[in-house]
Each structure stands twice: as structure tokens, then as C-alpha cells.
Amino acid sequence: MKVLIDKIKSFHLNIDQKFLGVAILFLWLKSYIVSRFIFDLPLENAIEEFILLINPISSVLILFIGALVIRRKLSRQGIFVLSLLFTFLLYANLVYYRFFNDFITIPVLFQVQNFGDLGGSAKGLMNPWDLLLFVDLFILSFFGRKKGIKSIVVPKLARRFLVVAAAALLVFNVMLAETQRPQLLTRTFDREMLVKYLGVYNYHAYDLFMHSKASAQRAFAESSDIIEVENYVSDGFDEENEFTGIAKDKNVILISMESLQDFVINYEVEGQEVTPFLNQLVKESFYFTNFYQQTGQGKTSDSEFLVDNSLYPLSRGAVFTTNAQNTYKGLPAILNENGYATASFHGNNKSFWNRDLMYKNLGYEFFYDETYFEVSEENSVNYGLKDIPFFEQSIPKLQNLKQPFHAKFITLTNHYPFVLDEEDIMIPTLQTSSGTVNRYVQTVRYFDEALKLFFEQLKETGLYDNSIIILYGDHYGISENHNRAMESVIGKKVTPFEYLKLQKVPFIVHIPGMDGKEMTTVGGQIDVKPTILNLLGIKPGKDIQFGEDLFNENRRDFAVLRDGSFVADYYSYTEGICYQNWDGNPTEDKYCSQLKDLADHELRLSDKVIQGDLIRFLDEFEE
């Protein structure tokens, strides 16, 4: 022991080792600063503040010291590359968080083919001050060259001490986090919580582990795994009502309304309606006023997955990318089996969100991507073809489809960062503290005009009378980062309860010749597939779907969001708190807790179906 103490006393850092220490210190500090002051992580006490301070250091130490253990020495360039990789990961999360109020997962990082199509969205999320994140890299490079540092060697004893210290610090971090949030590592749907308690880098290590585990689940899944799921979803599966078959053999036109939230319906800016056409359409249609978006990280692709399969998306990544090879019994495939032509229209790259591969698996016969449209600089903005020329150019293609057909239209113009050419602006901008919110109403107004013209064209071509037209908002447009601006829009403080209500998106079922009606049942995108099939009078046969027909009076008033929040008839739940719907006050009612357990169970079963690719086993249980 005396020898060990003497060695520790005699140990002094040389200039090379100080260089390594400074690199580690820089990474630690900027990781803490970003987590503390840019990520909006709720800190409730001094212990959580302390956890946030220490959680970056263990992962940074493990990476650098681990590299030293393997190689025994690190070059100056190696330290620079490792620092750059950590900084890139931190910055990628920063940019992603600014819009999605969420953190990147391994599947999202693998979706590199999407990054080139982000265009103005990614640019709009960047800030000149972001360059400060990379200042330390320039400092390290300058002084490393000036001092002639080539490689860094750390004595074996010091390496061992640092490895033990890093591991002990990680264990201490996790144990301390568990005291604040029991069962932390089982709550993988709550990435904000994982980042707060583990840190960005440890979160990504855990996410990589979970990704590997999910990949293994499919390999080891068995046909008997589907029995539990079938028992859960079977109740009320075939129940009929007065709307069953009311649209039999009619064309189905499904319109995905990009980033459209329900609060814009009947909203005005300086006395001008933001959605004049939709305001009239909801009076002539079945308009569901308590309909919620249920997407995860896959956003638009997740909404498509929900609508086509009546399954929940995953909590990590996009199912369109991570599980495109699965067996599905999608709405297009079912309609195709019943004599429908099936097509999807989208004025963007066919590979975006892996649609070109996923669509085939879902049963789409035709996919009209940007190559089928005349796209120019003048008629496109942001993500692709503007909505007015998109609908206009789609009409001839729609006319050429064999009837009856199922045609899905994915609109684009009302997409972050909500930019328009000057000639397309039809309404004044809002005057809030957020440019995003201010511009949002203008792109919504443009979409509304495009929708009006599309309906007129459907009538002119004769397609209108023989079709039902179903419209749904695909996901939120205004994230939690703009709550302060939204308070002036909705006229009240945006509490967690109010933000949950802002996840409502329009769902409109328009059947020509039928009177409109406001529908108050609580539902979500997962209910669209069974609703459409019931209207057409089509039985899906052996299937797994978690949604229920929205016209069924005996259905549950229940909408589960992908983050584990839910809305029911009397209660709602979000961010760990139950609320009373009638006044928005917190409650500890046991029934709300039971609903929370039900929501978690439903998400777990849906995840089990997707991760295990269980639908491939359905035929084994045919009677």
C-alpha cells in the first residue's frame, strides 16, 4: 500500500497528458452546458442538478481511457477525432431537439438518406452561436501543433485507476438516478428522462443496446407469442353499426394534411379565417373534434403506419425504416383483395422514409413520387412540389386509376420551417414571439386553398360523387419549444395538460350527399383503418389492429400517444400526472392509474407485434 501511495504522490502530468485532460474537460463542460441550458430538461431538486452535472463525464472517460487500454497510447489526431465524434453527436441532438423536442435514436441516425432532403428545415434549425460548440476543437488543434504533441501515453497504474473510476462513476450515476426515478431503464419510451438521468452519451450507448435487443426479438419470436395480442384485440372486432357499408364500393380518397393541428380550425388572424374552406367542409362532414396524433420519431411516416395498419409506431426510429421487411396486413392490401386499385401520391423523393420499399409491403400497387410530376424551382418549396400544383397534376393520374380506387395524398407545403413564396401568401402573419408560429398560419392558409381547388377539380371530373374523402392531420406542427408563443394564440397558459390537448389534429370524413355532424368521441390515427373498412362494409378477416371504428357507439373513448400519454373520456395523463378533463386539475383517482396501466400494456403489445414480426404467424392460427 505504501508503494502505491508513493507512486501516486510522485505522479505528475506531462504536457501530453494535460492535453488529454483538457480535451476531456472541454467535452464534459459543453455537454453539461447544452443539457442544462438548451435541452429543456425539467430539474426538480438539487440531486437532479448534480446528476446532470456528472453524467457526461463517465461516458467521456470510458471512451478515451478505453481507447488507451486497447492501444496503450493515443495520437493527437486520435484525440481530435474522438472529440469531433462526441461533438457531432451532441450537435446532432441539439438540432434535432429544436424541432422535435426529442432526442435522436440509433434507427434515426441510420436514416441518412433522409438528411439530404431536409433542405430548409435543417438550415432553419441551425444558429450561428452553434459554432461555439466547435471552438474547443480549434483550440486543441492549435495547441497540439504548437507544443509538438504527437501521442499521449498514460502509465498502466493510472489507466487502471481511471477505468475503475469511470465505471464506479457510471454505477453511482445510475444508482442515484434510480433513487429519483425507479425503473428508469424500463421506461425507454421517455427519452427525455433517460437523457436527464444518464446524459446524452450514456443514453446513446443504452439506445444502441436496445436497438440490438430489438433486432434479436424477431429472430427468437415464436408463433405462440401472438396469442396474447389476439386475445387483447379481439373484443368488438366485428361489431356493426348504422354506418357499416354506407360507402360500399365507393372510391376512397385519403388526404394526409401535413403538420395540421386542430386549433387552426375556425381560427382568425386580423379578422381573416386561416382555414375558410375547411371551416365550411367540417359543417358538411363528420368532424371528429377529439382526434389525436399518435406519432413517434417517424412523424409523417408514423402517421401512415398508424392509418394503414392500426398498429402503434415504435418509440425509437421509424417503423418504415427499421421494420420495412416485416409482414403486414395493411389497409391497401385488404382493399386490393376486395377489388380496389391502390395508389399513393407524394411530390417528394420516393426513398424518403423508405417509402418505395415499405409501400410494396403494405399493398400499394402504384406510387406516384416526384418523378411522375413536373417539378421546377418555381412550383416547389421546402420539401418538394407545392400543394396546389401537386393536387392539380394528380387529377389526370387519379382519373386513370381503375375504379373503385383507394388513393392517398401526402401534402408537403405546410411543413417546418413553414416558408412560402411571396405570391403564395394569402393571410397576414401572426405577431407572436415565435417566427415559426407566425409563419405557420400562412402555410396552413395556402394548404386550405389547395384543398378547395382540389375539391373543385374532383367535382369537375365527376370523381367527387362516387368517392368518400377522408382527411387527417399527420402530426403536430408547433412543438413544445414554442409554448410561450402559443399562449397568445390559444389565450391561455400552455400547461402539460393544455399541450396534450394541442396534439389534437383534424379528422374529417366527407361523404357526398350526407349531412355533416360533429363527433365528440375520443380517438386517434390508430382508429382510421377500422373506420374506413366499416364504412366500406369490408371485413379484414384474420388481422391484428388496436384501433376501433370511430362510428361505433360502444367503442372506448381512448387515445394513447406514443410517449405513453393518453386521453380518455374523463381523465388524461401526461408527464407522470393524471388530470381531470373537465377542469384540467391534477388527480390521484385510481381509475386514471388503471387507464395508465392499460395504455402501457397496449403500447407493449403493439411493440411486441412489430419487433417480433408476429403478423407472419397469423395464418398458423386460421380456423
Read off the pLDDT of residues 260-278 as tens digits, 9 standing for 90 and up.
999 999 999 999 999 999 9
Least confident of 205-209, 252-256, 430-434: 205-209
Q: What is the pLDDT of residue 20?
A: 78
Question: Which domains does the chain show, CATH number per domain?
Answer: 2-217 (no CATH), 242-561 (3.40.720.10)
The predicted pLDDT at position 119 comes to 52
Report d(CA 231, CA 544) in Å as an integer: 10
Q: Which residues are catalytic?
A: 300
Percent composition of the chain: helix, strand, coil (DSSP 3-state, to 5): 55, 10, 35
Provide the pLDDT confidence category of residue 4 given band limits of 50, 70 and 90: very low
Span 551-570, average pLDDT: 94
Among 11-15, 126-130, 419-423, whose mean pLDDT is lowest?
Answer: 11-15
Q: How many CB atoms lie within 10 A of CB 48?
A: 18
Contacts of 619 (CB under 8 A, 6+ apart): 542
Q: What is the dihedral of CA 606, 612, 617, 618, to 10 degrees?
A: 10
Q: What is the DSSP letter of 153?
A: E
Q: What is the mean pLDDT of the chain?
A: 87
In tens, the pLDDT along 502-512 reads: 999 999 999 99
Output the pLDDT for position 623.
45
DSSP element (H, E) containing 523? strand 523-524
- Express each pLDDT in 210-246 by its tens digit: 777 767 777 777 888 888 998 898 754 567 899 999 9
Q: Which residue has the cell 389525436?
A: 292
Helices within 409-474 (DSSP H only): 435-461
Cell of 94: 441539439
List pLDDT tens digits, range 439-470: 999 999 999 999 999 999 999 999 999 999 99
Burial degree of 427 (CB within 10 A; 0-12, 13-18, 19+): buried
pLDDT in tens, 479-529: 888 999 999 999 999 999 999 999 999 999 999 999 999 999 999 999 999
**End-to-end Cα distance, the chain:** 74
pLDDT digits (tens, 9 = 90+) for 588-613: 999 999 999 999 999 999 999 999 99
| CA–CA gap between residue 264 and residue 258 (Å, rounded) | 13
Strand-strand pairing, 272-273 and 268-269: antiparallel
Instruction: Kindly list the distances between the CA atom of residue 30 and the CA atoms of 50, 99, 194, 509, in Å, as whole numbers in the listed order.
Output: 16, 21, 19, 50
Dist. CA 295–CA 525, nearest whole Å: 9
pTM for this prediction: 0.75
Q: What does the pLDDT look like over 119-137, one tens digit per residue? A: 555 666 778 888 888 888 8
Pairing relationship of beta strands 517-519 and 577-580 according to DSSP bridges = unpaired
Compute the distance between CA of residue 236 and CA of residue 227 in angstroms, rounded to an integer: 17
In this structure, the number of other CB atoms found within 10 A of the CB of residue 334 comes to 23
- Rounded to the nearest 10°, the torsion over CA 453, 403, 288, 608 is -120
Residue of 324 and 451 predicted with greater confidence: 451
Q: What is the pLDDT of residue 146?
A: 72
Q: Give the pLDDT confidence score for residue 8 in this predicted structure.
A: 47
Q: Which DSSP letter does residue 518 get? A: E
The whole-angstrom separation of Cα 191 and Cα 213 is 17
